Chain A
Amino acid sequence: MLEIKNLHVKLEDEDKQILKGLNLTVETGKVHAIMGPNGSGKSTLSYVLSGRDGYEVTDGSATMDGFDLLEAETEERAAEGLFLAFQYPVEIPGVSNMTFLRTALNAQRKARGEEEMSATDFLKMVREKAKSLKIDADMLKRPVNMGFSGGEKKRNEILQMAVLEPKMCILDETDSGLDVDAMKLVSDGVNALRDEGRSFLVITHYQRLLDHIVPDVVHIMADGRIIKTGGPELALEVEKNGYADLLAENA
């Protein structure tokens, strides 16, 4: 599904290399987790894959089922099935959540040459999906993320994921700012979307999210590279011993 080879990325405005030859393969239907200390480049990876401005790819490649992600516009990547659940979802005053969702879904469908969804079908579909995430009608009507609590914002991200049905989902520190109940709700939402045709890349700082969203593979990232790959037990090791041992091992 996702194939990243020798990815080198620096900041556009300053001479600072963030990713230094990152290799990663996420197979179709699998859940991979990336853990790593602050500043290891985890969020940069998610931004570069989704096409945020401010980064320059100096070497390497990133493809999704053969589709060259790095050459495409942000919206083209989304229409192709890439989804990034933001660490800090953006508030957009004046645009209702419902309008936002519908515009996004129909824009993606249009880009793929599919028919747009009728208003009636759309409403029915969204209400159903919102219900399981405990997102009420009021939250759907309100401007995107405006006045939402941290937990509500993250649930709203998962709702977008559920509505857009992407094939490659990247979750960037989705657990940050969540209490235990909210984490459970978000995780249940993600788990419900696990599917043999859909892959996940879960970026997290802590192991606790991975108790709920159990990964197939865990990678440890440090200084712009993957330094170790293993099974779910690797996450437990980090939880117990911290990153220090792993970093020392790799130094």
Chain B
Amino acid sequence: MAIKRAQLKQQKQDALAARQPALSMPEGGEWITAARKDAAGRLDAMGLPIRRDEYWKYTRPDAFTSAEPVAAALTDDAGTQVFEGVDVLTVVFRDGAFDADASDDLALDGVEISRLADAAQADIHWAKDIYGALETAGQDPVERPLAALNTAYATDGLVIRATGAAAKPIHVVYERSSDTSDAVLHHVVKVEEGASVTLLETGAAGARANTVTEAAIADTAAFHHVRSQGRDQERQLVTHMFARLGTESTFKSFTLTPNGKMTRNECIMELTGDDAIAHVAGALMADGKDVHQDDTIFITHDAVNCESRQVFKKVLSNGATGVFQGKILVKQGAQKTDGYQISQSLLLDEDSQFLAKPELEIYADDVACSHGSTSGAIDEDALYYLRARGIPHRKAQDLMVLAFLAEAVDEIESEELREAILRRIRLWLDLEDDL
């Protein structure tokens, strides 16, 4: 056993050694250099994930650990038009680099926004208490080396501090013009007491991209996060969302993954204040044997009377793979916890697969936690009913796919954003607009 562990450790170190030469730590001020060096130290100790890692059992980490990204062909519809028509503040990163011409001025009532690259030049910055700190906390009890790698080597990103109610959502658009770009971006979000802000993200930041968002949500604050990930067929994407919630705060995150070759979305939330609410939801449309998508969630309840909710819906066809690993950890003092988790897949053929690992670990005695996971084919009775009304087989199936995904989309609080996501799904499915 000891030998095996030593072997694993060595393999992780080897993986890091293979990746490291392509990485270089950006220049910066004192605060961020310290944070980056700390992260590099964590990374050195952990190494990079390998296929035998328990936490990477269902998803091969190779795409994220190779020295260079596998080339990803550019496609016409990368899916960055999802929020068209919504009044937003747009910030564009192209292949991981800030695109000033395409971006709005970083000025918004109720919020201070700047680029991480700018904030990094200061010797001291408010982001110091968050940058790398939430990621560090999220390394226990499960290691997340790719997040540490991000903290150490991220070249840019946004630092957002909401002090009031943000006048409109901040929309980060990831555009891509290169088929070999390798983007590492890191965002910091601080929502002050009573403040609220919405962050939208669309597209894939690179042929290969690694993004981390750390969100510190103060008492009674609200942070909403809605994203639609790159639809370009060959891109590879790993994301981490670390959120820390204060008393009576709210955090709601929704992710639409419309294809893409490889996606690993980790969401790590810690409810540290009483009466906090944390929701995370996801909808996946995966079509093709090369499409692999993984949602890995870890929610820690460390306060009284908090609510957490996970709703994941995955439509898989033509040999696609969907993965869900979701854990709720309820610490000893976290009484009156209300934890809910559901992950469901709709398998449109026998070649596709859904792998689910729901987990509950509860140390408090007065909690209500439930989880469920289902995997099924399309309802033949409903399909026949729709066809008997003249709806062609394919369209009938698409209608049912939309209906299935809508249950996850419904988790988005804003009606406007919910409708924007549904409208785009309908468009991609070639369905008519709702009346």
Contact = CB atoms under 8 A, between A and B. Distances in A.
Contacts of B380: 53
A111 B391 CA distance: 10
Interface in A73-109: 73-75, 78-79, 83-84, 86, 89-96, 98-100, 102-108
Interface in A106-124: 106-108, 111, 119, 122-123
Given A98-B435, A99-B432, A122-B435, A104 B389 contact: yes
Contact of A94 (B390, B393, B402, B432): B402
A164 interface: yes
Given A102-B432, A111-B390, A94 B384 contact: no
Contacts of B432: 99, 102-103, 106
A95 B387 CA distance: 14
A86 B385 CA distance: 8
A92 B396 CA distance: 11
Name the residue in A79, A106, A107 with the highest tally of chain B Cβ atoms < 10 Å from its Cβ: A107
A119 B435 contact: yes
A102 B406 contact: no
Interface string B44-76: 000000000000000000000000000000000
A159 B355 CA distance: 42
A94 B390 CA distance: 19
A100 B434 contact: no
Contacts of B407: 93-94
Given A94-B406, A95-B402, A100 B386 contact: yes
A160 B388 CA distance: 11
Nearest to B384: A52
B390 A89 contact: no
Nearest to B404: A94
B382 A90 contact: yes
B399 interface: yes
A146 to B, nearest CB: 10
B34 interface: no
A73 B432 CA distance: 23
B431 A103 contact: yes
A78 B382 contact: no
A73 B387 contact: yes
A41 interface: no
Contact of A92 (B386, B392, B393, B431): B386
A79 B391 CA distance: 9
A96 B434 contact: yes
Nearest to A92: B382
B101 interface: no
Interface string B221-232: 000000000000
A94 B403 contact: yes
A164 B389 contact: yes
B382 A75 contact: no
Give chain A's interface residue range (CB within 8 Å of chain B). 35 or more
Given A99-B432, A107-B390, A93 B399 contact: no
B395 interface: yes
A103 B382 contact: no
Nearest to A123: B435
B381 interface: yes
Given A122-B435, A123-B435, A75 B403 contact: no
A186 to B, nearest CB: 18
Contacts of A95: 399-400, 402-403
B390 A102 contact: no
B435 A92 contact: no
A75 B435 contact: no
B406 to A, nearest CB: 5
A78 B393 CA distance: 12
Interface in B225-272: none
A115 to B, nearest CB: 14
A124 B388 CA distance: 24
Contacts of B391: 75, 103-104, 107
B282 to A, nearest CB: 17
A204 interface: no
B384 A74 contact: yes
B388 A78 contact: yes
Nearest to A109: B390
Contact of B388 (A50, A98, A103, A105): A50
A104 B396 CA distance: 9
Given A90-B381, A99-B435, A75 B393 contact: yes
A215 interface: no
A143 interface: yes
A164 B391 CA distance: 12
A75 B390 contact: yes
A102 B389 contact: no
A30 to B, nearest CB: 22
A191 to B, nearest CB: 22
Contacts of B385: 86, 89-90, 92
A107 B407 CA distance: 25
A92 B384 contact: no
Given A53-B380, A90-B382, A107 B392 contact: yes
Contacts of B379: 90
Contacts of A73: 387, 392-393
A50 B387 CA distance: 9
Contacts of A96: 434-435
Contacts of A105: 390
B388 A74 contact: yes
Given A91-B382, A104-B391, 19 more contacts: A52-B384, A73-B392, A74-B384, A75-B393, A90-B381, A92-B382, A92-B399, A93-B403, A94-B403, A94-B404, A94-B407, A95-B403, A96-B434, A100-B389, A104-B386, A107-B392, A119-B435, A123-B435, A160-B389
Interface of A: 50-53, 73-75, 78-79, 83-84, 86, 89-96, 98-100, 102-108, 111, 119, 122-123, 143, 160, 164
8 contacts: A74-B388, A94-B403, A98-B434, A103-B399, A103-B431, A104-B389, A119-B435, A122-B435
